[in-house]
Structure 1
């Protein structure tokens, strides 16, 4: 059986978008995908409004902490999804790179963050289907 695919979500602070995306992928794909998230300039803690709107979905991310983006994390990932961090993410051959343009939830109210959350969920659901079909960049079937 092939190794499971790995996905890295990257945003600037690793306090909002990438935390929501990694939580959804873990929730929807379970143990079948290795999930990472990181930030180019990580915050001290996850945005409390993000924690709140994810709790509405039954997903508890209150214990998560922002992590710094490392070259090792990128090298260890099959799919790298950036969310507004620009060109700070190192590029390696053989990886699938996606750029999800999403509003930053920083400083936003609950209603605005819910919209971002719902967009992320839809994109993660599509990603899960692509990974299940083996479209992660390496051509193997996963999930």
Structure 2
């Protein structure tokens, strides 16, 4: 059986979608192929998000924000938008799941921990459903 591909998308691929992707990779332990992207990618991952992920033993050193592509949308089994109504570069072929998490762009790690935990819970639910 081929592992399903889950694509996490937010605006900058620096915070919310990085959280979703790294947490899914951590939780699924290889049972899911994970991608992330943004509609207007930032230059680097949000340091507060990187800190909260490192607290769980997740290394984000090689994480680089990137643009989501029409090919990503066409090949993902599940597309998770971390913010409703994003202007995507093409149609979603697979299942489209919309979550609504605030933009952590100006947050410090203390502010981001609650969202990290909420995203982790949502990711765990999604991963269980995909088994």
Moved over 3 A (4+): none
Q: Which runs of 5+ in 2 are unaligned?
A: none
2:19 equivalent in structure 1: 20
Contact 2:79–2:92, Cα closer than 8 Å, also in 1? no
Contact 1:13–1:39, Cα closer than 8 Å, also in 2? yes
Cα root mean square deviation, aligned: 1.2
Q: Deviations over 1:86-130 (max 9, x none)?
A: 24123244x110111001111012222101101100000001110
SS of match in other structure, 2:12? coil
2:104 equivalent in structure 1: 105
SS of match in other structure, 2:36? strand
Q: Which runs of 5+ in 1 are unaligned?
A: 133-143
Query: Superposition pairs for residues 71-90 of structure 1, below 5 Å?
Result: 71-84=70-83, 86-89=85-88, 90=90
Contact 1:80–1:96, Cα closer than 8 Å, also in 2? yes
**Deviation for aligned residue 1:85:** 6.0
SS of match in other structure, 2:29? helix
Equivalent pairs counted in the alignment come to 130
- For the pair shown, the structure with the greater C-alpha radius of gyration is 1
Contact 1:10–1:85, Cα closer than 8 Å, also in 2? no
